[in-house]
Homo-oligomer: A and B are copies of this chain.
Amino acid sequence: MPTYKAPLRDVRFLLNEVFDYPAHYAGMPNGKDADPDTVDAILDECAKFCEEVLAPINLSGDEEGCRIENGAVTTPKGFKDAYEQYVAGGWQGLSHPAEYGGQGLPMSMGLFKTEMMGTANWSFNMYPGLSLGAMNTIMQHASDELKNIYMPPLTEGRWTGTMCLTEPQCGTDLGQVKTRAEPQADGTYRITGTKIFISAGEHDLAENIVHVVLARLPDAPAGTRGISLFIIPKHRPAADGAVGEFNNVVCSALEHKMGIKASATAVINFEDSVGWMIAEENKGLEAMFTFMNTARIGTAIQGVCHAELSFQGALAYAKDRRSMRALGGKKEPDKVADAIIHHADVRRMLLTQKAVAEGGRAMIYFAAQYADHMTNGIVENDARKYKHWDDKLGFLTPIMKGFLTEMGLESANQGIQVFGGHGYIKEHGMEQIARDARIATLYEGTTGIQALDLLGRKVLVMTRGGAVREFTGMIAKFAVEHMANAKMRRYATPLARYAAEWNVLTMRLMLMARKDRDQVSAASHHFLMYSGYVTMAYFWGLQAAVASDKLANGGKESAEFYKAKLATARFYFDHLLPRAKGHASSMLKPSRSLTKLPVEHFAFE
Q: Which residues of A contact B (CB under 8 A)?
A: 5, 7-10, 166, 169-173, 175-176, 197, 255-259, 311-312, 315, 319, 322-324, 326-329, 336-337, 339, 341-351, 354, 409, 413, 416-417, 420-421, 423-427, 431, 434-435, 438-439, 441-443, 446-448, 451-452, 456, 516-522, 524-526, 560-561, 563-564, 567-568, 570-571, 574-575, 578-583, 585-586, 589, 591, 593-599, 601-605
Q: How many copies does the complex hold?
A: 2
Interface pairs A-B: 4 shortest CB-CB = A344-B521, A258-B431, A574-B589, A328-B518
Contact present for B594 and A344 (CB under 8 Å): yes
Q: A327-B517, A438-B434 are in contact. Are A570 and B599 (CB under 8 A)?
A: no
Secondary structure dominating the interface of A: helix
Which residue among A258, A351, A451, A602 has the maximum number of chain B CB atoms within 10 Å of its CB?
A602
List B contacts of A435 (CB < 8 A): 258, 435
Closest chain B residue to A176, Cβ basis? B336
Contact present for A568 and B597 (CB under 8 Å): yes
Contact present for B564 and A593 (CB under 8 Å): no
Report the minimal beta-carbon distance from A591 to chain B, rounded to whole angstroms: 6
List B contacts of A7 (CB < 8 A): 603-605
Contacts A9-B604, A561-B604 known; list 10 others, CB within 8 Å: A256-B426, A257-B424, A258-B434, A328-B591, A344-B591, A345-B452, A345-B522, A351-B597, A561-B601, A574-B593
CA distance A9 to B602 in the complex (A): 12
CA distance A605 to B329 in the complex (A): 30
List B contacts of A346 (CB < 8 A): 448
List B contacts of A327 (CB < 8 A): 456, 517-518, 520-521
Q: A594-B347, A597-B568 are in contact. Are A423 and B442 (CB under 8 A)?
A: yes
CA distance A346 to B326 in the complex (A): 43
Contact present for B564 and A601 (CB under 8 Å): yes
List B contacts of A447 (CB < 8 A): 417
Report the minimal beta-carbon distance from A239 to chain B, rounded to whole angstroms: 39
Q: A255-B425, A563-B601 are in contact. Are A345 and B416 (CB under 8 A)?
A: no
Q: A327-B518, A345-B524, A442-B420 are in contact. Are A593 and B571 (CB under 8 A)?
A: yes
